[in-house]
Protein backbone atom coordinates (compact mmCIF):
# COMPACT_ATOMS: atom_id res chain seq x y z
CA UNK A 1 0.00 0.00 0.00
CA UNK A 2 1.06 3.58 -0.70
CA UNK A 3 1.29 6.81 1.27
CA UNK A 4 -0.41 9.90 -0.15
CA UNK A 5 -0.79 13.50 0.96
CA UNK A 6 -4.09 15.15 0.02
CA UNK A 7 -4.67 18.86 0.52
CA UNK A 8 -8.18 20.17 0.95
CA UNK A 9 -9.11 16.84 2.52
CA UNK A 10 -11.91 18.19 4.74
CA UNK A 11 -14.47 18.76 2.00
CA UNK A 12 -15.41 18.52 -1.66
CA UNK A 13 -12.99 16.90 -4.11
CA UNK A 14 -10.29 16.58 -1.47
CA UNK A 15 -12.56 14.67 0.90
CA UNK A 16 -13.76 12.41 -1.93
CA UNK A 17 -10.17 11.71 -2.97
CA UNK A 18 -9.01 11.00 0.57
CA UNK A 19 -11.95 8.64 1.10
CA UNK A 20 -11.30 6.79 -2.15
CA UNK A 21 -7.61 6.30 -1.38
CA UNK A 22 -8.27 5.23 2.20
CA UNK A 23 -10.91 2.75 1.04
CA UNK A 24 -8.27 1.14 -1.16
CA UNK A 25 -6.07 0.60 1.89
CA UNK A 26 -3.63 3.43 1.37
CA UNK A 27 -2.28 5.72 4.08
CA UNK A 28 -3.69 9.22 3.57
CA UNK A 29 -2.19 12.32 5.17
CA UNK A 30 -4.95 14.89 4.96
CA UNK A 31 -4.15 18.60 4.96
CA UNK A 32 -6.69 21.35 5.56
CA UNK A 33 -7.59 24.27 7.77
CA UNK A 34 -9.64 21.94 9.97
CA UNK A 35 -10.59 18.31 10.49
CA UNK A 36 -7.34 17.00 9.02
CA UNK A 37 -4.25 15.17 10.19
CA UNK A 38 -2.25 18.24 9.23
CA UNK A 39 -3.90 21.61 9.88
CA UNK A 40 -2.21 24.43 8.00
CA UNK A 41 -3.00 27.55 5.99
CA UNK A 42 -1.56 27.08 2.51
CA UNK A 43 -2.26 30.71 1.75
CA UNK A 44 0.82 31.79 3.72
CA UNK A 45 4.51 30.96 3.41
CA UNK A 46 4.59 29.92 7.06
CA UNK A 47 1.60 27.63 6.65
CA UNK A 48 3.11 25.95 3.58
CA UNK A 49 6.37 25.31 5.40
CA UNK A 50 4.50 23.91 8.40
CA UNK A 51 2.42 21.67 6.17
CA UNK A 52 5.46 20.32 4.32
CA UNK A 53 7.30 19.60 7.57
CA UNK A 54 4.28 17.84 9.06
CA UNK A 55 3.72 15.74 5.93
CA UNK A 56 7.37 14.69 5.86
CA UNK A 57 7.25 13.69 9.53
CA UNK A 58 4.03 11.74 9.07
CA UNK A 59 5.32 9.95 5.97
CA UNK A 60 8.80 9.23 7.22
CA UNK A 61 10.22 11.34 4.40
CA UNK A 62 8.89 9.25 1.52
CA UNK A 63 5.68 9.83 -0.42
CA UNK A 64 4.10 7.84 -3.21
CA UNK A 65 1.90 10.71 -4.28
CA UNK A 66 0.55 14.17 -3.57
CA UNK A 67 -2.88 15.43 -4.59
CA UNK A 68 -2.88 19.23 -4.35
CA UNK A 69 -6.62 19.87 -4.26
CA UNK A 70 -7.05 22.70 -1.74
CA UNK A 71 -8.37 25.89 -3.29
CA UNK A 72 -10.90 28.69 -3.08
CA UNK A 73 -13.47 29.97 -5.56
CA UNK A 74 -14.30 33.23 -7.33
CA UNK A 75 -16.84 34.10 -4.64
CA UNK A 76 -14.03 34.87 -2.19
CA UNK A 77 -13.91 38.58 -1.45
CA UNK A 78 -10.11 38.88 -1.26
CA UNK A 79 -8.52 38.32 -4.69
CA UNK A 80 -5.02 38.46 -3.22
CA UNK A 81 -5.82 35.47 -1.04
CA UNK A 82 -7.17 33.62 -4.09
CA UNK A 83 -3.77 33.96 -5.78
CA UNK A 84 -1.87 32.85 -2.69
CA UNK A 85 -4.07 29.84 -2.03
CA UNK A 86 -4.75 28.64 -5.58
CA UNK A 87 -1.33 29.18 -7.14
CA UNK A 88 1.46 29.84 -4.68
CA UNK A 89 0.17 27.30 -2.15
CA UNK A 90 0.30 24.18 -4.34
CA UNK A 91 3.49 25.29 -6.10
CA UNK A 92 5.42 25.81 -2.87
CA UNK A 93 4.11 22.62 -1.30
CA UNK A 94 4.87 20.44 -4.33
CA UNK A 95 8.35 21.88 -4.65
CA UNK A 96 8.99 21.14 -0.98
CA UNK A 97 7.68 17.58 -1.29
CA UNK A 98 9.33 16.68 -4.62
CA UNK A 99 12.36 15.02 -2.93
CA UNK A 100 10.00 12.81 -0.90
CA UNK A 101 8.23 11.79 -4.11
CA UNK A 102 11.56 11.00 -5.73
CA UNK A 103 12.52 8.71 -2.85
CA UNK A 104 9.52 6.48 -3.54
CA UNK A 105 10.95 5.61 -6.95
CA UNK A 106 7.65 6.33 -8.70
CA UNK A 107 6.29 9.54 -7.24
CA UNK A 108 3.03 10.97 -8.56
CA UNK A 109 1.72 14.51 -8.19
CA UNK A 110 -1.68 15.80 -9.26
CA UNK A 111 -2.91 19.39 -9.12
CA UNK A 112 -6.50 20.58 -9.40
CA UNK A 113 -6.88 23.37 -11.93
CA UNK A 114 -10.15 24.45 -13.54
CA UNK A 115 -11.74 24.74 -16.94
CA UNK A 116 -12.20 28.41 -16.01
CA UNK A 117 -8.61 28.84 -17.19
CA UNK A 118 -9.87 28.45 -20.76
CA UNK A 119 -13.59 29.23 -20.59
CA UNK A 120 -13.66 32.50 -18.61
CA UNK A 121 -12.77 35.56 -20.75
CA UNK A 122 -11.46 37.53 -17.78
CA UNK A 123 -7.94 36.11 -17.42
CA UNK A 124 -5.28 38.76 -16.84
CA UNK A 125 -2.04 37.92 -18.65
CA UNK A 126 0.04 40.14 -16.38
CA UNK A 127 -1.33 38.36 -13.33
CA UNK A 128 -0.46 34.99 -14.85
CA UNK A 129 3.06 36.17 -15.66
CA UNK A 130 3.63 37.54 -12.18
CA UNK A 131 2.58 34.21 -10.72
CA UNK A 132 4.83 32.17 -12.98
CA UNK A 133 7.76 34.45 -12.16
CA UNK A 134 7.29 33.66 -8.47
CA UNK A 135 6.35 37.21 -7.47
CA UNK A 136 3.65 36.53 -4.90
CA UNK A 137 3.46 40.07 -3.56
CA UNK A 138 3.27 41.48 -7.08
CA UNK A 139 0.54 39.00 -8.01
CA UNK A 140 -1.45 39.83 -4.91
CA UNK A 141 -1.25 43.55 -5.61
CA UNK A 142 -2.19 43.08 -9.27
CA UNK A 143 -5.19 40.94 -8.30
CA UNK A 144 -6.51 43.71 -6.06
CA UNK A 145 -6.03 46.27 -8.84
CA UNK A 146 -7.88 44.11 -11.34
CA UNK A 147 -10.78 43.59 -8.97
CA UNK A 148 -11.11 47.36 -8.49
CA UNK A 149 -11.32 47.83 -12.26
CA UNK A 150 -14.03 45.20 -12.69
CA UNK A 151 -17.67 46.29 -13.24
CA UNK A 152 -19.76 46.19 -10.10
CA UNK A 153 -22.35 43.87 -11.68
CA UNK A 154 -19.63 41.22 -11.92
CA UNK A 155 -17.90 41.72 -8.58
CA UNK A 156 -21.22 41.59 -6.75
CA UNK A 157 -21.59 37.97 -7.89
CA UNK A 158 -18.02 36.72 -8.33
CA UNK A 159 -15.72 39.32 -6.75
CA UNK A 160 -12.51 37.42 -7.50
CA UNK A 161 -13.31 35.93 -10.90
CA UNK A 162 -10.20 37.36 -12.60
CA UNK A 163 -7.92 36.18 -9.82
CA UNK A 164 -9.58 32.75 -9.84
CA UNK A 165 -9.37 32.16 -13.59
CA UNK A 166 -5.86 33.62 -13.78
CA UNK A 167 -4.61 31.49 -10.89
CA UNK A 168 -5.93 28.37 -12.60
CA UNK A 169 -4.31 29.23 -15.93
CA UNK A 170 -1.05 29.94 -14.13
CA UNK A 171 -1.11 26.60 -12.31
CA UNK A 172 -1.81 24.76 -15.56
CA UNK A 173 1.16 26.44 -17.21
CA UNK A 174 3.34 25.75 -14.17
CA UNK A 175 2.46 22.07 -14.41
CA UNK A 176 3.31 21.96 -18.12
CA UNK A 177 6.61 23.76 -17.64
CA UNK A 178 7.69 21.96 -14.49
CA UNK A 179 6.70 18.38 -15.35
CA UNK A 180 9.27 18.15 -18.15
CA UNK A 181 12.25 19.50 -16.20
CA UNK A 182 14.99 16.99 -15.30
CA UNK A 183 14.32 17.47 -11.57
CA UNK A 184 10.89 15.93 -12.09
CA UNK A 185 10.80 13.92 -15.29
CA UNK A 186 14.23 12.29 -15.09
CA UNK A 187 13.68 11.41 -11.44
CA UNK A 188 10.55 9.45 -12.31
CA UNK A 189 8.17 11.90 -10.65
CA UNK A 190 5.11 12.64 -12.79
CA UNK A 191 3.15 15.86 -12.52
CA UNK A 192 -0.30 16.31 -14.04
CA UNK A 193 -3.34 18.53 -13.61
CA UNK A 194 -7.09 18.00 -13.72
CA UNK A 195 -9.36 20.81 -14.93
CA UNK A 196 -12.83 20.26 -13.45
CA UNK A 197 -15.91 22.05 -14.66
CA UNK A 198 -19.18 22.54 -12.79
CA UNK A 199 -18.78 20.11 -9.90
CA UNK A 200 -21.17 20.26 -6.95
CA UNK A 201 -18.70 21.22 -4.23
CA UNK A 202 -18.86 23.93 -1.55
CA UNK A 203 -16.44 25.93 -3.71
CA UNK A 204 -18.77 26.02 -6.71
CA UNK A 205 -21.95 26.41 -4.72
CA UNK A 206 -20.49 29.49 -3.06
CA UNK A 207 -21.00 31.23 -6.40
CA UNK A 208 -24.02 29.45 -7.83
CA UNK A 209 -26.37 28.76 -4.94
CA UNK A 210 -28.14 25.60 -3.78
CA UNK A 211 -27.88 22.39 -5.87
CA UNK A 212 -31.67 22.12 -6.12
CA UNK A 213 -31.82 25.55 -7.75
CA UNK A 214 -29.37 24.64 -10.53
CA UNK A 215 -30.36 23.52 -14.00
CA UNK A 216 -27.73 22.18 -16.35
CA UNK A 217 -29.61 23.37 -19.42
CA UNK A 218 -29.74 26.97 -18.22
CA UNK A 219 -26.25 27.09 -16.71
CA UNK A 220 -24.09 30.02 -17.92
CA UNK A 221 -21.69 27.65 -19.71
CA UNK A 222 -22.64 24.71 -21.97
CA UNK A 223 -23.29 21.39 -20.23
CA UNK A 224 -23.32 18.80 -23.08
CA UNK A 225 -23.92 15.83 -20.78
CA UNK A 226 -26.81 17.63 -19.11
CA UNK A 227 -25.58 16.89 -15.59
CA UNK A 228 -23.32 18.45 -12.99
CA UNK A 229 -20.23 16.70 -11.74
CA UNK A 230 -19.84 15.19 -8.29
CA UNK A 231 -16.64 15.27 -6.19
CA UNK A 232 -16.27 11.53 -6.75
CA UNK A 233 -15.98 12.12 -10.50
CA UNK A 234 -12.80 14.10 -9.89
CA UNK A 235 -11.52 11.73 -7.21
CA UNK A 236 -11.66 8.89 -9.74
CA UNK A 237 -9.23 10.65 -12.09
CA UNK A 238 -6.96 11.82 -9.29
CA UNK A 239 -6.68 8.18 -8.27
CA UNK A 240 -5.75 7.16 -11.82
CA UNK A 241 -2.95 9.72 -12.04
CA UNK A 242 -1.60 8.56 -8.66
CA UNK A 243 -1.29 4.91 -9.68
CA UNK A 244 2.15 3.42 -10.41
CA UNK A 245 0.81 2.40 -13.82
CA UNK A 246 0.41 6.07 -14.78
CA UNK A 247 4.14 6.23 -15.48
CA UNK A 248 3.90 7.56 -19.04
CA UNK A 249 1.70 10.57 -18.39
CA UNK A 250 3.25 13.83 -17.26
CA UNK A 251 2.55 17.46 -18.08
CA UNK A 252 -1.05 16.64 -18.99
CA UNK A 253 -4.11 18.80 -18.32
CA UNK A 254 -7.16 16.54 -18.18
CA UNK A 255 -10.54 18.24 -18.60
CA UNK A 256 -13.22 16.61 -16.46
CA UNK A 257 -16.02 19.04 -17.13
CA UNK A 258 -18.85 17.21 -18.86
CA UNK A 259 -17.72 18.51 -22.23
CA UNK A 260 -17.92 22.25 -21.44
CA UNK A 261 -14.50 23.22 -22.75
CA UNK A 262 -14.97 21.12 -25.89
CA UNK A 263 -18.35 22.74 -26.54
CA UNK A 264 -17.01 26.25 -26.11
CA UNK A 265 -13.70 25.79 -27.92
CA UNK A 266 -14.00 22.76 -30.19
CA UNK A 267 -11.05 23.71 -32.40
CA UNK A 268 -8.81 25.34 -29.80
CA UNK A 269 -7.03 22.18 -28.70
CA UNK A 270 -4.98 20.62 -30.01
CA UNK A 271 -3.57 23.33 -32.22
CA UNK A 272 -0.75 22.75 -34.70
CA UNK A 273 2.70 24.12 -34.13
CA UNK A 274 3.64 26.85 -36.54
CA UNK A 275 7.14 27.59 -37.79
Q: Which residues are catalytic?
A: 164
Return the C-alpha torsion angle 86, 88, 89, 95, nearest 10.
130
Phi, psi dihedral angles at 77 (to 5 degrees): -70, -35
Query: What are the helix and strand counts (H, E) for the chain?
Result: 12, 7
Q: Are 135 and 83 in contact (CB under 8 A)?
A: no
Q: Are 117 and 165 in contact (CB under 8 A)?
A: yes
Return the C-alpha torsion angle 62, 63, 64, 67, nearest 10.
-170
Q: Is 193 helix (H, G, I), strand (E, B) or coil?
A: strand
Calpha distance 236→249 (Å, rounded): 16
Amino acid sequence: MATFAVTGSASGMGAATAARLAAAGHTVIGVDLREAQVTADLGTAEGRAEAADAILRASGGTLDGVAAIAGVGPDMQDPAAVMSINYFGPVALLEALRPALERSGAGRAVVIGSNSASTVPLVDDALVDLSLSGDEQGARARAVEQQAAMPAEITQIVPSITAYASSKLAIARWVRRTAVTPEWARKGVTLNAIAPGAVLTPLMLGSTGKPEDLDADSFPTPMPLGVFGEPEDIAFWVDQFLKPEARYSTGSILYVDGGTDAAMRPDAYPTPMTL
